Amino acid sequence: MYENLSKNELSELKAELEIKYEALKAKGLNLDMSRGKPCKEQLDLSNAMLTMDLGGCKSESGFDCRNYGMPEGIPEAKSLFAALMGVSASRIILGGNASLQLIYDTIARARFLGVSEELAPWGEGAKFLCPVPGYDRHFTILEHFGIEMINIPLSENGPDMDLIEKLASEDERIKGVICVPMYSNPDGFTYSDETVRRFAAMKTAAEDFRIFWDNAYCIHHFSDSPARQLNIIDECKKGGNPDRAYVFASTSKVTFAGGGICAIASSPANIEHIRKQLSVQTIGFDKINQLRHAKFFVDYGGIIIHMKKHRKIIEPKFNIVCDMLEKELRPNSSTSDCSHGLGEWHKPRGGYFISFNGLPGTAKRTVELCSLAGVVLTGAGATFPYGRDPEDKNIRIAPTFPPVDELISAMEVFCASVKLASAEALLINKE
Amino acid sequence: MYENLSKNELSELKAELEIKYEALKAKGLNLDMSRGKPCKEQLDLSNAMLTMDLGGCKSESGFDCRNYGMPEGIPEAKSLFAALMGVSASRIILGGNASLQLIYDTIARARFLGVSEELAPWGEGAKFLCPVPGYDRHFTILEHFGIEMINIPLSENGPDMDLIEKLASEDERIKGVICVPMYSNPDGFTYSDETVRRFAAMKTAAEDFRIFWDNAYCIHHFSDSPARQLNIIDECKKGGNPDRAYVFASTSKVTFAGGGICAIASSPANIEHIRKQLSVQTIGFDKINQLRHAKFFVDYGGIIIHMKKHRKIIEPKFNIVCDMLEKELRPNSSTSDCSHGLGEWHKPRGGYFISFNGLPGTAKRTVELCSLAGVVLTGAGATFPYGRDPEDKNIRIAPTFPPVDELISAMEVFCASVKLASAEALLINKE
């Protein structure tokens, strides 16, 4: 335990750690673990989709997918997402290749035009509740539109619902919450049924309060006991707030990150409103790509089989990261509690990330040390609104993209950097 | 000439026309000429693109198009649009499958966030100049965002530039103009070099005045003397207003209306600003489809050859429409002037439409009569802001989609309906 060392002992340790770090740095690595990108082998799983016979490009409705029309998407692709998202196809609108764009557009419309014809735009001074750590691109959208973000602590069962209920019920300028409810980015936590029910039923001061439920990893399991979650749309209806939730999903991490399809699901009233607004923006998204996806998977069962192939590729990478963290950073102790070493982490059961919490005040320095040694990580602070991690301790590790040998090299650098940054920080505290 | 008939003669004529119209109606047609959609044979021209070998999906830059990244688009597809739009590739950002969406997004950003970091949003009370008749979907976007539209008469060389210069220089709430400058929708007029120069150089009261130059038909010629046009971006630079123009183009009517790609071109400063804003909205549009297009066409020459194939399919349809209008609606006179019969029209040299101007007060009734006889046209008034044609005379004819035999049947109904509506209108005037 570094914490129990004297100042002199720490100085000696730091000198040793520096030598080890410099040796790794001298390798001149050039590795990128900054984003949750699928690796080549994952992308290859869907290659057959690129050249498959599309049988005249007709949708099952007889519609020629090559032509204009069907702004809400073709029926067979809507059915696929209906199964994926647990709603009827009539409650789904398909988008382009990225759910982020649907999220952006939905927030933009609410902010400037209003969530329904009856309700005024959110306007200036709108605020959002943001479970943290969270997804940096969500926060960037909110900041872009001048929406004030309020940090809400997140733990294993979801965000602090006492705090969310209190704030949402008191302040009518609080217009929503944005989150990744299953295998959260970056922690990999799955919100409990109680959390979902409380979200759905809570009182909000704002009539136009909306939940942005980014279900990016709803089928991205790598455990024999995959997470299950109540359907937020159903629960909102039961809770007397049928129009509260917008749910998003995509195939970006199922087929191609650079050429997938995406969807928004919501209540009939919301979907009807969005359909009207969307028809101003486009005559329709890419229906040929929708058809490709529908023909490639055939049905929901086809997707599930496909996701098992992803698991085979990426689960070993998560194991490598967790094993190396365990070996390098867990203190020598007989307990299985990993919370008293140089950081906390846990192996998620799905999703794309491992969230590492180092000693307070070490995250920026750790990322800097990694970068100087040729390993690019997600910027420290990126998992918090405005890029400000109040304790400067959270680092998002994205293990999927690098090949296994590179991942091991990168994690060696990471662990060495954590140790050195920790020794430096503890030494300063002793002064 | 119907106009020269007495009341009794007109009544007799009307009775005759009713008999002819009813005979056509009795056929029970079900034909659609409402939108400018490519026909099956046109779509078939690009079918090879759907199953072509993409060679590992690598861009010429070595980037894997299947993965995240490159928000501005892959280099080879940017080069293609650079040639198409007459600008360098660095001044281009590629979008998704529809330029309409890029137009919507660009107007939305200007309206709510501002055209640059220094300039305030257009805000409430913004106004636009709209050359008429024009494209209904443009007007719908402006109306959606509460931007007041001002009609500007359009003729062979472009809109009334005296009026545009006067209004734009006087009123700082006038923030822009939106138009289809080549083979205008629906007239098929191509703005003259003088018009382009005046647009580029004119004084505007608003510092953030922008030209939305929807160059949807820039390569859609069907004449041996295709239209040429000055490049608005170059001219704006020469005119001392380098950031004035946003230019849009797409392959919606080149490859697939339901699965093409699109682009925006503008000044370096505008492109840099859009790039920043766009990076909030998306990690990147569909790069696999960009690659497909680049590999399918290889270069600009490939596109030009492809467009000649389109011409072969659609030029005969335009000829049919013009010949039938000539035969049925032009008065028996020795002059070649078609402006003194039951309407005015001309055969365009490119684009997707024929614009028919009937006698004042007859357009709605003509469209209604067509509809009752089973022929759906674009709604009368759709070519004007707020759907209001002040003279109720303009009808947009879209000849590309129906097969030739259906087009002939539809035009028989159209001509019979124009005659009957004209006789009805003239008779009312006599009363």
Residues A132-147 have pLDDT tens digits of: 999 999 999 999 999 9
Tokens at residue A87, please?
A: 């709603």
Check pLDDT > 70 for residue B338: no
Mind telling me how many Å the CA of A151 is from chain B's nearest CA? 20
For chains A and B, count residue pairs whose Cβ atoms are closer than 8 Å: 146
| Among B80, B64, B112, CA closest to B263 | B80
Asked if the Cβ–Cβ distance from A282 to B100 is below 8 Å, we say: yes
Asked if the Cβ–Cβ distance from A100 to B67 is below 8 Å, we say: no
Question: What is the rounded CA–CA span in Å between residue A267 and residue A263?
Answer: 14
Mutate to test the interface with B, among A32, A67, A106, A253 (most CBs of B within 10 A): A67
Which residue on chain B is closest to A142 by alpha carbon? B280
Check pLDDT > 50 for residue B103: yes
**Across the strands, what pairs with A395?**
A356
pLDDT in the model for residue B214: 98
Asked if the Cβ–Cβ distance from B96 to A97 is below 8 Å, we say: yes
Which positions in chain A touch B98 (Cβ < 8 Å)? 282-285
Check pLDDT > 60 for residue B342: yes
Residue among B40, B137, B281 minimizing CB distance to A104 = B281
Q: How many angstroms from the chain centroid is the CA of residue A33? A: 15
Confirm if A323 and B293 have CB atoms less than 8 A apart: no
Residue by residue, DSSP assigns A20-60 as: HHHHHHTT---EEESS-PPPHHHHHTTTHHHH---GGGB-T
In this structure, the dihedral spanned by the alpha carbons of residues A255, A257, A259 and A260, taken in order and rounded to 10 degrees, is: 50
Q: Judging by DSSP bridges, how do beta strands B158-159 and B148-155 pair with one another?
A: antiparallel
The band of A338, judged by pLDDT with boundaries at 50, 70 and 90, is very low
Mutate to test the interface with B, among A33, A47, A68 (most CBs of B within 10 A): A68
Average pLDDT of span B86-106: 97
The band of B330, judged by pLDDT with boundaries at 50, 70 and 90, is confident
Tokens at residue B284, please?
A: 């990147």
Which positions in chain A touch B66 (Cβ < 8 Å)? 43, 46, 256-259
Question: What is the rounded CA–CA span in Å between residue B68 and residue B48?
Answer: 26
pLDDT single digits (tens) B175-231: 999 999 999 999 999 999 999 999 999 999 999 999 999 999 999 999 898 999 999
Question: What is the rounded CA–CA span in Å between residue A2 and residue A427?
Answer: 10
pLDDT in the model for residue A390: 97
Which positions in chain B touch A41 (Cβ < 8 Å)? none
Share of chain B above pLDDT 90, in %: 93
Which residue on chain A is closest to B49 by alpha carbon? A51
Check pLDDT > 70 for residue B334: no
The band of A5, judged by pLDDT with boundaries at 50, 70 and 90, is confident
Average pLDDT of span A182-188: 97
Mutate to test the interface with B, among A39, A66, A145, A254 (most CBs of B within 10 A): A66
Residue among B43, B104, B112 minimizing CB distance to A280 = B104
pLDDT in the model for residue A75: 97
Q: Lowest mean pLDDT: which of A29-33, A254-258, B162-166?
A: A29-33
Tokens at residue A311, please?
A: 């698991």
Asked if the Cβ–Cβ distance from A258 to B286 is below 8 Å, we say: yes
Mutate to test the interface with A, among B102, B139, B288 (most CBs of A within 10 A): B288
Asked if the Cβ–Cβ distance from B259 to A284 is below 8 Å, we say: no
Check pLDDT > 50 for residue B431: yes
Average pLDDT of span B112-121: 96
pLDDT in the model for residue A332: 58
Question: What is the rounded CA–CA span in Å between residue B152 and residue B167?
Answer: 10
Asked if the Cβ–Cβ distance from A259 to B287 is below 8 Å, we say: yes
DSSP state of A154: E
The pTM of the full predicted model, rounded to 2 decimals, is 0.96
pLDDT in the model for residue B332: 58
**Across the strands, what pairs with B127?**
B148, B174
Classify residue B114 as left (phi > 0), alpha (psi -120 to 50) or beta: left
Average pLDDT of span B275-298: 96
Average pLDDT of span B147-154: 98
Greater pLDDT, B115 or A335 = B115
Confirm if A174 and A129 have CB atoms less than 8 A apart: yes
Check pLDDT > 60 for residue A196: yes
Asked if the Cβ–Cβ distance from B68 to A112 is below 8 Å, we say: no
pLDDT in the model for residue B4: 82
pLDDT in the model for residue A330: 80
pLDDT in the model for residue A129: 98
Residues 6+ apart with CB under 8 A from B30: B374
Tokens at residue B266, please?
A: 């503008």
Average pLDDT of span B342-365: 96
Check pLDDT > 50 for residue B337: no
Residues 6+ apart with CB under 8 A from B237: B267
Mutate to test the interface with A, among B45, B51, B61, B67 (most CBs of A within 10 A): B67
The CB-side HSE value for A193 (13 A sphere, CA atoms) comes to: 3
Mind telling me how many Å the CA of A19 is from chain B's nearest CA? 36
Which residue on chain A is closest to B260 by alpha carbon? A286
Check pLDDT > 80 for residue B346: yes
Check pLDDT > 90 for residue B275: yes
DSSP state of B60: T
For chain A, the average pLDDT equals: 95
Asked if the Cβ–Cβ distance from B280 to A141 is below 8 Å, we say: yes
Which residue on chain A is closest to B43 by alpha carbon? A66
Mind telling me how many Å the CA of A97 is from chain B's nearest CA? 6
The band of B52, judged by pLDDT with boundaries at 50, 70 and 90, is very high
Greater pLDDT, A227 or B429 = A227
The band of B120, judged by pLDDT with boundaries at 50, 70 and 90, is very high
The band of B429, judged by pLDDT with boundaries at 50, 70 and 90, is confident
pLDDT single digits (tens) A370-415: 999 999 999 999 999 999 999 999 999 999 999 999 999 999 999 9
Mind telling me how many Å the CA of A209 is from chain B's nearest CA? 21
Asked if the Cβ–Cβ distance from A286 to B283 is below 8 Å, we say: no
Show the domains of chain A with their CATH numbers.
2-33+308-429 (3.90.1150.10), 53-298 (3.40.640.10)
Average pLDDT of span A179-190: 97
Which positions in chain A touch B275 (Cβ < 8 Å)? none
Task: Determine what percent of chain B falls in helix, strand and coil, rounding each to the nearest 5.
Answer: 45, 15, 40
